[in-house]
Amino acid sequence: MDEQAHVLREALTTATRSIITDLPHLAAKINRQRQAARVRTATSERVFPAIVAAALGTNPRKALPICVASALWWISTDADAPDVQCGAVLAMRHLRTVRAPDSCKLEWFDEITRSTTSVIEARLANRDGSGRLSRKSVLARHLRSSGAAYARDAAMAAHLVDEHPVDEWRRFGALYGLMRQLRTDHVRSTVDEVGNPQLVVPPLLVAHVFHQGNAAVRHELARLRREASYGGLVRHELLRELLCSPRAVQAYARDLRALHGKARASLDGLETTDEAAAVLRSSLDSILRLPMPGEREVIGV
């Protein structure tokens, strides 16, 4: 993975220089978006297509153009820009220059279109704020965003081999992307950081608290969701206690384990090379090694 990440960094630098030279205004816009969001996406995350290619038994370097396209696509998406299609345009622009059969390129472009429209739909639904805050809605949103992106990358890599099981790899990619997003949500959490002026909560944990809470708790969580921010909520110590209640934490942990098992089962159902499969399993297993929020009993609630 380290070797592929190094090659990807060099290729991405070359692609970025081309954008700056040919499309200076678009390059400036994208760069402002990245700076505004302080994007620091790990390059290793974008080598997923190369790992899938290796798992399929083909040379992972063949997936390098897909890795670069994925990295370009994520530029706008990571920045949470309203015009996420900028990343899709940059990705397709790059793939247009790649040596590959036209039929393969058409499949790649279709996958990019599919993932981009899925993300746009997820963001519009999230801004609308309608619907019940639930486990189902959280997972659906993640599957339509990160899940769709990883599903795209897996499917694009599968198109590199003959008799490719594209649908099967797309399904696994969606679950893999879901687990990566849940892990990111968990790592960013400040639920255990008492005194931190910013309360950042994994959405899946919030959904479990919402499901278990009374009317007052549900009203408060719904209000916070509409505001789309958990900043400056250190005064809501009761909310922090509820988020760390044994029932909520245990339900959240069980859910993560169940989803992990589903993703592992999907991977185990694919024909893969041992080494690449081990890398993918290790990545999935990393979420089980994360400490859960410290359980605290809530008195008088």
| Single-letter amino acid code for the residue at 50 | A
Handedness of CA 118, 122, 125, 127 (dihedral sign): negative
pLDDT 10s digits, 92-129: 988 988 888 889 999 999 999 999 999 988 888 877 65
Is residue 37 within 8 Å of residue 74, measured between CB atoms?
Answer: no
| pLDDT, position 139 | 96
pTM, two decimal places: 0.85
Is residue 156 within 8 Å of residue 107, measured between CB atoms?
Answer: yes
DSSP 213: S
How far is 41 from 27, CA to CA, in rounded Å? 18
| pLDDT, position 81 | 47
pLDDT greater than 70 at residue 1: no
Between 299 and 105, where is the model more confident?
105
Kindly list the domain boundaries of the chain, sorted by start residue.
2-191+245-289
| pLDDT, position 54 | 92
pLDDT 10s digits, 129-179: 554 678 999 999 999 999 999 999 999 999 999 877 899 999 999 999 999
| pLDDT, position 298 | 44
| pLDDT, position 132 | 61
> Looking at 75-79, 83-87, 244-248, which range is the least confident one?
75-79
**% of the chain with per-residue pLDDT over 70:** 73
pLDDT 10s digits, 213-264: 777 777 766 666 555 444 444 445 667 777 888 888 999 999 999 999 999 9
| pLDDT, position 278 | 94
The chain-wide mean pLDDT, for the chain, equals 81
Considering only CA atoms, which of 117, 33, 124, 120 is closest in space to residue 72?
33
Is residue 142 within 8 Å of residue 181, measured between CB atoms?
Answer: yes
Q: In the CATH scheme, what is the code of domain 2-191+245-289?
A: 1.10.600.10
| pLDDT, position 52 | 94
